[in-house]
Structure 1
Amino acid sequence: MDKDEDLLLKTTIYKDPSHKNGILMRPFYWFRMLSNELHWSFVISVMIIYGINQGLSLGLSRISTQYYMKDEQKLQPSEAQIYMGVIAIPWIIKPFWGLLTDIVPIVGYRRRPYFILAGLIGVTSMLVLSLQNNVQLALALLLLMAGSAGAAVGDVTIDACVTENSIAHPTLAGDMQSLCGVSSSVGQLLGYIMSGFLVHHIGPKGVFGVMSIASCLVITVGLMLREDLTRNLDYRRVNQKFLDAGKATWMALKCPDVWRPCLYIFLSLAVSLHIHEGMFYWYTDAKSGPSFSQELVGSISSVGAIGSLCGVLLYQNIFKKYPFRNVLFWTQLLFGASGMLDLILVFRMNLRFGIPDYAVAVCDAAITHMIGRLKWMPLLVLTSKLCPSGIEGTFFALVMSIDHIGILASSWGGGFLLHTLNVTRTEFDNLWIAIVIRSLGRVLPIGFLFLVPNIDSNSTVLPAEMLQPRKDDDDKLKHDNLEMGSLINSFDQNLADE
């Protein structure tokens, strides 16, 4: 029996529900199997980065930042909407962080120093933001962007580690993605549940202080992760590697089979204007709105996270066999219709039938996030099919950056819309108009569906010559580029931004 067959047998035993150890012990044996085969430091690192630094912190930061913008900085909804987009800018240059971790080792290590750097950036920015009083808006935005940059660097680095291990242990690739997905989903759900409670009791600045603990754990990952030392590195080749990756990416973008779907992905996000901050200010307003408490706002977001998970299950079990165009047509149409649910709340129609505001808000969050994830899943699968051989990871990260640019455009467009309609901290008379325009914008991408190939998830998109393996002098670079192609993390981040 060779090594792969032995590993496959172990994996089957740990997953077999009829195994003598029983269902309740299966997760523990599964974790032990992964720790034995991949080293315990890697398994713990995935759980820390995906589960705590990304999942838990993502849930905490979303609500705390909204309250910080509203209560500490006293911003108008339109200003907060624009600045929320600014904070996410470090995610736009994600391919740059990925290339750095791939081809620029520090003191002989390609991963560990970047974890330490990401943790130090996160700890410093969050502690300064939580401990300083009367922080100027410009400095606050810079610190929040720094925290976002720390999360992005840690994200790309753990993506690289996961894919590197997937290449070395192909029979465990699915198990690693399951570990990433479970850690991120559970962490994010816990973060949203805890966020409202923590904001209520220690304030948004206190929550930033709590988030610094997660960044400290990222530093711990950099110190404990097992990694081989890279010796005799020729730093003179670094510039050439950057140029080679750039040329290959540009050649791919010139192909119509590539740039047309990329254009659709950007347009579908850019025209779906975000007015989250306008709705958030209305949610918490005591005069015009329902005056939801911090705990209720956090719980609404947690229900939205559950709705997103339901969307994944629906796509995987039902919709993934249908052509991309069909799925996108109906999901975009339903996405626009779901946006109109906000009108029930704003016009207070639910109160006429004795339905509490919170019940409508929870249903709205669950339905909207479920449809939003159903809409995003085929785009994610399509993105993975647009990546030419040899630059898969780099190109996937580039398309994710295009997504973030589209989200940034929708955030800024939504801020401009709220400003134009004079939706302020206390004036919400025209909020319903913003909701209608936003909902119509969600339907507009249907007119761009001709840019999407009319195929299903089992078909190929790229020409045959772009699917052939590249014969590079440095074969390691190809594998390094693959390391940035982890789907789970980019997926969760884009869903959080939407």
Structure 2
Amino acid sequence: MSTRTREAERSELVRWAILVGAGVFATTFAQPAVLKLPLQYLLKSDLHVSRDAMAAFFAAGALAWYFKPLAGILSDSVPLFGTRRRHYLLLSGVAAGGLWLLIGLVPRTYAALLAAVIAMNAMLVVGSTVVGGVMVEIGQRYRATGRLSSARYFVQNACVLLGGPVGGFLAARSFGLTALVGAAVALSVVPVAWWLLREPPVAGTGAAAWTRAKAELRTLMHSGTLWSAAGLLFLVYIAPGFQTPLYYYQTDTLGLSQEFIGTLSFFSGAFGLVGAFLYGVLCRRLPLRWLLALGIALSALGTLGYLFYRSGMAAALIEGENGLLVTLAELALMDLAARATPRGSEGLGFALMMSVRNAALAVSDIFGSWLIERHQVSFFSLVWLNAGTTALVLLAVPFLPRGLIDRRDDAPGVEITHSRPCSPPGDAAVGSL
């Protein structure tokens, strides 16, 4: 490849990376799961909900994230106003911003808040699916799935880094301010997408679009590589979680303020940024097989640090190291998901694996909260249980397809066959922007 061609590719990759970064920021920072402290404080202090009720609120509020493949079908197969990505991203950003404002206006009841959060998350899901489809498509085109996954996770951790202190600040103030901040963030992707996401008109609506969607579904159903990757994601994320129990432990046992809890998220996000940078370097030097094993093992070991979570100082140190180690594991899993997604089904395939992740995390948190609330399992016993079940997943890594995990990022490898059915006559190439 000539130097001029490499420079052109690098320039194009930077352009798409900016778009992906802006999209990830808007669809991540605007999530109630990131701006979480104000909602947690409202539910605990004003509505006096239990641990399992709070976990159920956030699990049900994220309902749309479990059905993310439906958004993938739409963006991959059903053009909106003649485009497959542009108008979905623009309209979902505007709608999510409006719904955040609605969350600030609805009555302060469990049901009303939950309904508004579900609707707002549905719009974020559409935007996130479009961004994920672009990331996978461009990553496969330029053999840069690891680097784009690293950049994506870098932005996600920046959101966590900001979300902690911002959430702590907002939790101590009127909830209406939280709604305004959420709306502004959700709308931030609109000018970037308007400027950078240009697509030629795409023909195909009605019967042709649904025929194309059925072809995508057949591709995914017969893709052993995709299902093996989804299975590993499920096993990692289904480990009994303690996210909600940790919040109650921080406030009720350690007596930490909302602002300090937000600062802890800042430490986690800051070290997560370091982890994202390290992965961007390591993925070009080590095959994915070793990165997966290393990440899962370090994540399990890092979880054991919560056994020493007994003071504010200890909490800061543990949140920092956990942010670093979990990021290395998460990025390896996201790299696996991107590699395993069939070409031409980028939005749907990647969305399917993210739905597996999101649903497993929700069930994990509910189960952990249920164990503490209903069976008096201690917080530290839950830590042991989470670390042990995570470590067991190492046994599954050798069973992944070698074509997925035995090469480095940016290295040529064997093309993975996903048994894609032939497209109908006259069908547009769904993998192109």
The interval holding the TM-score normalised by the smaller chain is: 0.7 to 0.9
Q: 1:463 to 1:413 in 2, by over 3 A?
A: farther
One-letter amino acid of the counterpart of residue 244, structure 1: A
| Residue pair 1:58, 1:191 contacting (<8 A) in 2 also | no
d(CA) in 1 for partners of 2:193, 2:336: 33
| Residue pair 1:112, 1:222 contacting (<8 A) in 2 also | yes
One-letter amino acid of the counterpart of residue 264, structure 1: L
| Residue pair 1:340, 1:436 contacting (<8 A) in 2 also | yes
| Residue pair 1:64, 1:208 contacting (<8 A) in 2 also | no
Among 386, 407, 417, which residue is 2:371 paired with? 417
| Residue pair 1:45, 1:221 contacting (<8 A) in 2 also | yes
d(CA) in 2 for partners of 1:281, 1:445: 28
| Residue pair 1:88, 1:145 contacting (<8 A) in 2 also | yes
List aligned pairs for 1:196-207, cutoff 5 A.
196-200=168-172, 202-207=173-178
* 1:263 Cα deviation from its structure 2 partner: 2.2
Q: 1:167 to 1:227 in 2, by over 3 A?
A: farther
Which residue in 2 is equivalent to 1:269?
237
Which residue in 2 is equivalent to 1:19?
none
d(CA) in 1 for partners of 2:341, 2:9: 30
Q: 1:381 to 1:280 in 2, by over 3 A?
A: same
Count of residue correspondences = 429
One-letter amino acid of the counterpart of residue 195, structure 1: G
What are the Cα deviations for residues 86-125 of structure 1, in whole angstroms up to 9, with x where unaligned?
2223122222212212322233343443234323432343
Which residue in 2 is equivalent to 1:342?
306
Q: 1:7 to 1:65 in 2, by over 3 A?
A: farther
Q: 1:377 to 1:106 in 2, by over 3 A?
A: closer
| Residue pair 1:60, 1:207 contacting (<8 A) in 2 also | no
Which residue in 1 is equivalent to 2:387?
439
* 1:187 Cα deviation from its structure 2 partner: 4.4
d(CA) in 2 for partners of 1:158, 1:72: 36
List aligned pairs for 1:375-454, cutoff 5 A.
375-422=329-376, 430-453=378-401
| Residue pair 1:56, 1:189 contacting (<8 A) in 2 also | no
Q: 1:187 to 1:463 in 2, by over 3 A?
A: closer
- 1:237 pairs with 2:191: no
d(CA) in 2 for partners of 1:11, 1:390: 21
Q: Secondary structure at the match of 2:241?
A: coil
d(CA) in 2 for partners of 1:317, 1:152: 30
Which residue in 1 is equivalent to 2:56?
82
One-letter amino acid of the counterpart of residue 106, structure 2: Q
Q: 1:238 to 1:59 in 2, by over 3 A?
A: closer
| Residue pair 1:56, 1:188 contacting (<8 A) in 2 also | no
* 1:227 Cα deviation from its structure 2 partner: 4.0
- 1:282 pairs with 2:234: no
Q: 1:151 to 1:435 in 2, by over 3 A?
A: same
Which residue in 2 is equivalent to 1:194?
166
d(CA) in 2 for partners of 1:205, 1:92: 28
Q: 1:332 to 1:34 in 2, by over 3 A?
A: closer
Q: Secondary structure at the match of 1:466?
A: coil
Alpha-carbon RMSD: 4.0
* 1:374 Cα deviation from its structure 2 partner: 1.9
Which residue in 2 is equivalent to 1:213?
184
Among 280, 292, 306, which residue is 2:256 paired with? 292
Runs of 5+ in structure 2 lacking a partner? none
| Residue pair 2:129, 2:351 contacting (<8 A) in 1 also | no
Which residue in 1 is equivalent to 2:273?
309
Q: Work out which of the two has the higher radius of gyration on C-alpha atoms and give 1 or 2.
A: 1
| Residue pair 1:119, 1:215 contacting (<8 A) in 2 also | yes
Which residue in 1 is equivalent to 2:70?
96
Q: 1:176 to 1:403 in 2, by over 3 A?
A: closer
Which residue in 1 is equivalent to 2:219?
248
* 1:183 Cα deviation from its structure 2 partner: 5.1
* 1:212 Cα deviation from its structure 2 partner: 1.4
List aligned pairs for 1:347-386, cutoff 5 A.
348=310, 357-386=311-340
| Residue pair 2:147, 2:280 contacting (<8 A) in 1 also | no
Q: 1:264 to 1:160 in 2, by over 3 A?
A: closer
Which residue in 2 is equivalent to 1:67?
41
TM-score by length of 2: 0.82
d(CA) in 2 for partners of 1:398, 1:434: 29
Q: 1:248 to 1:73 in 2, by over 3 A?
A: same
d(CA) in 2 for partners of 1:203, 1:317: 43
d(CA) in 1 for partners of 2:167, 2:272: 18
| Residue pair 2:245, 2:368 contacting (<8 A) in 1 also | no
What are the Cα deviations for residues 122-157 of structure 1, in whole angstroms up to 9, with x where unaligned?
2343222212342x2122112112222221111222
Q: Secondary structure at the match of 1:284?
A: helix
| Residue pair 2:23, 2:127 contacting (<8 A) in 1 also | yes
| Residue pair 1:311, 1:370 contacting (<8 A) in 2 also | yes
One-letter amino acid of the counterpart of residue 219, structure 2: A
d(CA) in 1 for partners of 2:86, 2:370: 42
Q: Secondary structure at the match of 1:122?
A: helix
Q: 1:398 to 1:477 in 2, by over 3 A?
A: farther
Q: 1:127 to 1:162 in 2, by over 3 A?
A: same
Q: 1:251 to 1:104 in 2, by over 3 A?
A: same
Q: 1:464 to 1:197 in 2, by over 3 A?
A: closer
Which residue in 2 is equivalent to 1:131?
105
Which residue in 2 is equivalent to 1:18?
none
Stretch of structure 1 that moved more, 385-394 or 62-71: 385-394
- 1:151 pairs with 2:129: no
d(CA) in 2 for partners of 1:260, 1:316: 24
d(CA) in 2 for partners of 1:365, 1:59: 17
Q: Secondary structure at the match of 2:341?
A: coil
| Residue pair 2:82, 2:201 contacting (<8 A) in 1 also | yes
What are the Cα deviations for residues 376-395 of structure 1, in whole angstroms up to 9, with x where unaligned?
23322333332344435532
| Residue pair 1:67, 1:204 contacting (<8 A) in 2 also | no
| Residue pair 1:56, 1:191 contacting (<8 A) in 2 also | no
| Residue pair 1:275, 1:415 contacting (<8 A) in 2 also | yes
| Residue pair 1:324, 1:456 contacting (<8 A) in 2 also | yes
| Residue pair 2:75, 2:347 contacting (<8 A) in 1 also | no
Q: Which has the higher contact order (CA 8 A, sep 6+)?
A: 2
One-letter amino acid of the counterpart of residue 196, structure 1: G
Which residue in 2 is equivalent to 1:493?
none
One-letter amino acid of the counterpart of residue 249, structure 2: W
Q: 1:198 to 1:320 in 2, by over 3 A?
A: same
